[in-house]
A and B are shown apart, each in its own frame.
Chain A
């Protein structure tokens, strides 16, 4: 067998191999990765910085409609509104205020409207130590009972402080207690969670036995 024939045979073999590879790529024999399933873009609600509520002070700043806070549109001046209780001594919320859920403190220990509101002037709050505060100044009112939390809030450790950590470079925004807490039911923070991760492969989920070892 001379050299040239061998060269030709090698070349022929090589070109056949390349042709086979080309055909393989063309017909996608190895299976290029299938397109990934779509992941829906997250609801903008979950990336929004807005708080869950809007405080009265924020409504004033935003020049919003304040007619809901006009107590004397219905109530009569200089006449403390009556409170009614059921047989278990639980406050009956009048039907005009049916949007209010009274759940401030456990065991109904704090179910009197006039623990916070001033019964002689419904457009004011009164603290237990006798101060009278405007509706937009509710934070010191909360602080008159919740001392440690108020102290933390003043130090910036309770509640969100947003804006600039470096006060020389820009302002910060502080929130009022009622920007997040419903004053009549302050503890309820239950919300739907944002979607979890979408891994490329199915993941091991934490089985029930982890929580209740057999």
Chain B
């Protein structure tokens, strides 16, 4: 069917001199139509894309610039979105840090038995994806006599814990005073609030994963896929900077359960700890448990102290 322009056959190539011939017009339009159809077909994976952001969401202002009325609208929009997706009407709040409060976490390495209950209580509380798994807490099984984290093991699965000759070190976001993740964020989607919690605005995050690379504690997790949460497992008590469902392509991490702690409660990992190894509170209050621990216990370290990140997470031993 191709047109060989070296031939002098009538009806071929002469049309260009005399305007458009019927044959050429038909051929061109057939090729064009099939080409467009093929283009549409090849772009078909785009049609499978879900949750294209609404105009409202797309035009939303930066978190710190939102007025209370605009915030109320945003919370309403999030509640609608969650209800549409999960069939549950959540209660989404925007909780601000309290005055005169700085949170500190203390973890007793003498007590921790490595049962991983905190890991799963955290997943349940904070609406993390179940498949693929995102878990804010990683429990390292470490041989006695070293703090070389290279020797830690995440994947222990014995009949029962604790095992002889090992201790267990849960690691989560250390809520640093000098956080490398905040410094590298190109869009200021993550920052440290006055109560010491480093939070993420999931609507502002562009998913560049710089913070994941900057964090020396592997605390930040990326939603490579749409989070997969069974509808009946959704925790409806939510906070804007906390456990509201994330979308694909944003970072998330431990935020000391802002939906609980900024309402005065203890975080979920503490509530579930069967040995009372986890202690949380306001370091500015001299009567709090964490003040007592930091005053009287062998608080031996902040993890990777030498990096100068100055975590608000302390590991200690009894006696």
Contacts and interface: CB of A to CB of B under 8 A. Distances in A.
A199 B160 CA distance: 22
Q: How large is the interface on A (under 10, 10 to 19, 20 to 34, 35 or more residues)?
A: 35 or more
A191 B160 contact: yes
B171 interface: no
Interface string A192-214: 11111111100101100011000
Interface stretch (B38-46, B69-77, B307-315): B38-46
Nearest to B155: A196
A88 interface: no
A47 B31 contact: no
A22 B3 contact: no
Nearest to B14: A2
B96 to A, nearest CB: 14
Contacts of A148: 319
B209 interface: no
A192 B296 CA distance: 32
Contacts of A48: 272
A155 B294 CA distance: 12
Contacts of B233: 41
B16 A165 contact: no
B61 interface: no
Interface in A155-204: 155-166, 168-170, 175, 180, 189-200, 203
A183 to B, nearest CB: 17
Interface stretch (A8-16, A79-87, A129-137): A8-16
A65 B294 CA distance: 42
A93 to B, nearest CB: 24
B81 interface: no
A8 B160 contact: no
Given A189-B275, A192-B160, A19 B27 contact: no
Interface in A2-37: 2-5, 7-9, 11-12, 14-15, 17-19, 21-22, 24-26, 36
B159 interface: yes
B135 A197 contact: yes
Nearest to B265: A164
A158 B121 CA distance: 21
A12 B282 CA distance: 71
A157 B279 contact: yes
5 contacts: A8-B28, A18-B35, A46-B120, A189-B275, A194-B120
Interface of A: 1-5, 7-9, 11-12, 14-15, 17-19, 21-22, 24-26, 36, 38-39, 41-42, 46-49, 51-52, 148, 152, 155-166, 168-170, 175, 180, 189-200, 203, 205-206, 210-211
Interface of B: 2-3, 5, 13, 15-16, 24, 27-28, 31-32, 34-35, 38-39, 41-42, 44-45, 98, 113-117, 119-121, 123-124, 130-133, 135, 138, 143, 150-162, 230, 233, 261, 263-266, 270-276, 279-282, 288-289, 292-293, 296-297, 318-319
Given A52-B274, A155-B289, A165-B266, 19 more contacts: A8-B28, A18-B35, A41-B130, A49-B272, A155-B292, A156-B289, A158-B276, A160-B274, A162-B271, A163-B265, A165-B264, A180-B276, A189-B113, A191-B115, A193-B158, A195-B157, A198-B132, A198-B133, A206-B153
